[in-house]
Amino acid sequence: MDIRKVKKLIELLEESGIAEIEIHEGEESVRVSRHGSAAHAVVQAAPGGPSVAPAGPETQARAAATAAREELPEGHVIRAPMVGIFYESPAPGRAPFVELGKSVRAGDVLCVIEAMKIMNQIEADVAGTVSRILVRNGEPVEYGQPLFIIREA
Amino acid sequence: MELRRAILARLSDGVFHSGATLARDLGRSRTAVWKGVRGLVGAGLDIFAIRGKGYRLAEPLELLDAGLIRDSLDAEAARALNRLDVFFTLVSTNDFLLREARPHGNVVLAEFQTAGRGRRGNRWVSPPASGICLSLGWRFESAPDSLMMLSLFSAVAVLRALQCCGITGVGLKWPNDMVHEDRKLGGILVESRGQIAGAVDVVIGLGLNVRLPPNVGASVDQPVTDLASIGGAAPSRNRLAALSIAQLLRMCRDCQAGETPAYLQEWRNHDVGRGRPARLKLPDREVAGRVLDIDERGLLIMQIAGREQRFSSGELSLRLGA
* pLDDT less than 50: residues of chain B: 322
Q: In the CATH hierarchy, which top-level class contains the domain B66-269?
A: alpha beta
First to last CA, chain B: 50
Q: Which of A83, A94, A121 sits opposite B193 (nearest CB)?
A: A121
In this prediction, residue A4 carries a pLDDT of 54
CA atoms within 13 A on the CB side of B257: 8
What residues of chain A lie within 8 A of the CB of B316, using their CB?
A: none
Four-way CATH pick for B2-57: 3.20.20.10, 2.60.40.3950, 3.40.1190.20, 1.10.10.10: 1.10.10.10
Greater pLDDT, A150 or A66: A150
- Reduced to 3 states, what is the DSSP secondary structure of residue B38? helix
- Contact predicate A80/A86, CB 8 Å: yes
Does residue A63 belong to any structural domain of this protein?
Answer: no
Is B277-317 in CATH node 2.30.30.100?
yes
Instruction: Work out the average pLDDT over A102-106.
Output: 91
Let me know if B315 is exposed, middle or buried by CB neighbors in 10 A (0-12, 13-18, 19+): middle
In this prediction, residue B160 carries a pLDDT of 96
Does residue A60 belong to any structural domain of this protein?
Answer: no
Express each pLDDT in B226-281 by its tens digit: 998 887 677 899 999 999 999 999 999 999 888 888 999 999 999 999 999 999 99
In this prediction, residue A142 carries a pLDDT of 87
In this prediction, residue A3 carries a pLDDT of 55
Let me know if A77 is exposed, middle or buried by CB neighbors in 10 A (0-12, 13-18, 19+): middle
Let me know whether A135 and A89 are in one domain. Answer: yes
Let me know whether A22 and A86 are in one domain. Answer: no
A41 in contact with B, Cβ within 8 Å: no
Let me know whether A148 and A87 are in one domain. Answer: yes
CB spacing of A118 vs B299 below 8 angstroms: no
- Model confidence, pTM: 0.78
> 10 Å Cβ neighbour count for A39?
18
Structural domain range at position A37: 3-45
In angstroms, the CA B204 to CA B196 distance is: 20
Q: At what angle do helices B19-26 and B2-11 cross, to 10 degrees?
A: 130
Domain positions in chain B: 2-57, 66-269, 277-317
A119 in contact with B, Cβ within 8 Å: yes
CA atoms within 13 A on the CB side of A123: 17
Question: Out of B4, B5, B117, B184, which one is annotated catalytic?
Answer: B184
CATH number (domain holding residue A124): 2.40.50.100
Nearest CA in chain A to B173: A116
Specify the number of domains making up chain A. 2
What residues of chain A lie within 8 A of the CB of B119, using their CB?
A: 114, 117, 119
Does residue A55 belong to any structural domain of this protein?
Answer: no
In this prediction, residue A32 carries a pLDDT of 66
Q: Left (φ > 0), alpha (ψ -120 to 50) or beta: where does A81 sit?
A: alpha
Nearest CA in chain A to B123: A91
